[in-house]
Structure 1
Amino acid sequence: MTSQPGRHFLQIPGPTNVPDQVLRAISAPTIDHRGPDFASLTTELLTSLKPVFGTSGPVVVFPGSGTGAWEAALVNTLSTGDRVLHVETGHFATLWQRMAAGLGLYVDFVPGDWRHGVSPEAVAERLTADSARTIKAVCVVHNETSTGVTSRVSEIRQAMDATGHPALLLVDTISSLGSIDYRHDEWGVDVTVAGSQKGLMLPPGLGFNAVSEKALAASRTARLRKSYWDWQPIIEANRRGFFPYTPATNLLYGLAEALRMLEAEGLPAVFARHDRHAAATRTAVRGWGLEVLCVDDREHSSSLTAVLMPDDQDADKVREIILERFDMSLGAGLGKLAGRVFRIGHLGHFNDLTLAGTLAGVQMGLQLAGVRIDPNGLTAALDVLRSE
């Protein structure tokens, strides 16, 4: 593609745009990861991370992806042959259950339609039926990046508690942490999985596990093989401000700056900003006469919106036109949604004018692709932004 003036609009639902101040922090000279300055950095970081997860417990930081953090959650808490309950909410929930099976776990996979989140009632039904208590963990994707559907984690935990079942609750927050209200301790989550490249406003390269006391206890008897992903040596080294192997030093500089930015704005304001941008986006989609993939008003994502195209239209063709004409990247449909949806990311370092430009580009692209829409969709979205 030929070079175009202006900045590229990266409106996929992650990796997201990295703020200039975070990029500058990452570019600082690397320091000795065995020295006292690094120990101070680590201690500050691990303290600052806890409010973002909503926890007072340990947060383990890995040089790795969110997928690695998935694996860490499983191998630290479970043993070969253990039974785990996964619910099909979309592409990433499906990938996580495949990983579990590949690790030697027995997966009880509850099918879904990719338009709804996890049903608390379905989880309770499966756990109630498990009178022998063979299910050791329930694995939930909080915000399904492939569909724009957010599951109600607090209600899932309440449903689990009502059954009296001792299963652990493992939650993927890769596209929700730092963008959508989340409370590890209050909601009774045992392992929270996260990555650096979305709401935390960093490049890819860091994976996270927030860990409950119950999960730590399970890790002492878990027998799945692990080495790199083992929590215990990391938590032990972190007490002194260090890591048991070479950390991603410069990404940690960026993380420190990103956490300062989140603290300065205030997490309630961050969540409110994402909520209103999501509401404006859904207003545009419905104003155009198109359909939002998520069908439950309680479960709309504030990180992204997946747009379902008419049967006679190719979502990938629309994305191609928008990229070529307006230098804007939108998220593709994944798995069984390929060609049927495109995804608008509105998370991370993002403001009203960026959203207005994004929606204008989408509207023009839809028109150029010959999709029949009402052009007042953009105006309706701008009305939402003006009203706040």
Structure 2
Amino acid sequence: MTSHAGRHFLQIPGPTNIPDQVLRAISAPTIDHRGPEFAALTHELLAGLQPVFGTSGPVVIFPGSGTGAWEAALVNTLSTGDRVLCAETGHFAALWQRMAVDLGLYVDVIPGDWRHGAAPEAIAERLAADTVRTIKAVCVVHNETSTGVTSRVAEIRRAIDATGHPALLLVDTVSSLGSIDYRHDEWGVDVTVAGSQKGLMLPPGLGFNAVSAKALAVSRTARLRRSYWDWQPVIEANRHGHFPYTPATNLLYGLAEALRMLRTEGLPEVFARHARHAEATRKAVQGWGLDVLCADEREYSSSLTAVLVPEGQDADKVREIILERFDMSLGAGLGRLAGRIFRIGHLGHFNDLALTGTLAGVQMGLQLAGVRIDPSGLTAALDILREPHG
């Protein structure tokens, strides 16, 4: 391995770079998770998470990954043999579908080309055809981390409502929460799934479910087996500031600091910063003469940009050169996109100069890999970044 000076550029779309102040918070001494100091922390965290999810309802925190939070969303709301409707928008949407099958659910899939988000019209068509109401939930990934495509959740909610169908709406926000505008209550989402390691600027290790009143009521009669992932004991223990298991105490310290940082900057400003960095990245890609994977500009992601390499080129070779020469990690193409794309993460604790360095490294790496590009791509990004903002 080559030795590099300076900090490694971690430009995958999660886990993201962790702010120094969050790292310092995590390093504090562990306290008694049954004591009054911890109870106060729990109440502070639960109140602080609500505006990030856009909800006034409960947010359940699990020690676990986003995948665990997927499972919690399913097992608390469904019973063996129930049907769920899933939009296949990318690798992670497909993994969630596979989990549903493994749990004993019947999965109806709306296939996709991985360049578009979930189509509200297609979801409405499937639900309208379900006249006997056998579909119990619709599963959508808000921001598909494998493709850089964002589904239009508010439009999907309106499409569901137009059919009069009672299906629950379950939404994965693992790579959008805290980076892209999201409104659990306003958009009528029943369960929102999230993880700690992306827009919340933490290490992996915490999973979240924001839960609607409708989903909470359904959970009392749902019959999929659950124990660790059961919402009810967590919500009950949270009333007193505690958890029914040993919580990830030091990650919760970090979460408190991350929430403070988001409040200080202001969520609208956080979302605007991410959108601006995403626009600058796309300008660079287009300036290089390459294609952004997302094919609908309404669905561009503010968290990451997936870049298609030309035919005959290997995206993984580009990534390998960039890692070796410039000590920067980019996201790989997953599933059917392996070798065809690389992904630039621009979410979390990130600023203009960090993006400038990232795009300069990508441009040099593309040139070293023999990909024919127009070097004015970086200049196009800088034209966006030098404009005043705020």
Q: Which amino acid aligns with 2:316?
A: D
Q: Which amino acid aligns with 1:336?
A: R
Matched residue, 1:356? 356
Matched residue, 2:53? 53
Matched residue, 2:157? 157
Matched residue, 2:375? 375
Which digits, 9 at most, give the CA deviation of each residue in 1:60-98, with x for residues without a partner? Answer: 000000000000000000000000000110000000000
Counting only pairs closer than 5 Å after superposition, residues 1-388 of structure 1 correspond to structure 2 as: 1-388=1-388
* Aligned mates of 1:129, 1:308 — CA distance in 2: 37
Q: Which amino acid aligns with 2:235?
A: I
* Aligned mates of 1:135, 1:200 — CA distance in 2: 33
Q: Which amino acid aligns with 1:374?
A: D
The 3-state SS of whatever aligns with 1:108 is strand
Q: Which amino acid aligns with 1:207?
A: G
Aligned-residue sequence identity (percent) comes to: 86
Which digits, 9 at most, give the CA deviation of each residue in 1:297-340, with x for residues without a partner? Answer: 10000000000010110000000000000000000000000000
Which digits, 9 at most, give the CA deviation of each residue in 1:194-217, with x for residues without a partner? Answer: 000000000000000000000001
TM-aligned CA deviation for residue 157 of structure 1 = 0.2
TM-aligned CA deviation for residue 224 of structure 1 = 0.2
* Aligned mates of 1:35, 1:87 — CA distance in 2: 44
The 3-state SS of whatever aligns with 2:263 is helix
Structure-2-length-normalised TM-score: 0.99
TM-aligned CA deviation for residue 2 of structure 1 = 2.4
Q: Which amino acid aligns with 1:110?
A: I
Q: Displaced runs of 4+ in structure 1, greater than 4 A? A: none
Structure-1-length-normalised TM-score: 1.00
Q: Which amino acid aligns with 1:113?
A: D
* Aligned mates of 2:328, 2:297 — CA distance in 1: 28
TM-aligned CA deviation for residue 3 of structure 1 = 1.9
CA RMSD of aligned residues (A): 0.3
The 3-state SS of whatever aligns with 2:299 is coil
* Aligned mates of 2:373, 2:3 — CA distance in 1: 30
Q: Which amino acid aligns with 2:182?
A: Y
The 3-state SS of whatever aligns with 1:387 is coil
Gaps of 5+ in 2: none
Gaps of 5+ in 1: none
The size of the alignment, in residue pairs, is: 388
* Aligned mates of 1:205, 1:245 — CA distance in 2: 15
* Aligned mates of 1:49, 1:254 — CA distance in 2: 13
Q: Which amino acid aligns with 2:323?
A: L
TM-aligned CA deviation for residue 276 of structure 1 = 0.3
The 3-state SS of whatever aligns with 1:197 is coil
Q: Which amino acid aligns with 1:58?
A: P
* Aligned mates of 1:380, 1:118 — CA distance in 2: 30
* Aligned mates of 2:63, 2:174 — CA distance in 1: 15
* Aligned mates of 2:300, 2:43 — CA distance in 1: 36
* Aligned mates of 1:70, 1:3 — CA distance in 2: 39
Q: Which amino acid aligns with 1:109?
A: V
The 3-state SS of whatever aligns with 1:298 is helix
TM-aligned CA deviation for residue 128 of structure 1 = 0.2
TM-aligned CA deviation for residue 386 of structure 1 = 0.7
* Aligned mates of 1:346, 1:133 — CA distance in 2: 41
Which digits, 9 at most, give the CA deviation of each residue in 1:208-236, with x for residues without a partner? Answer: 00000000011000000000000000000
The 3-state SS of whatever aligns with 2:104 is coil
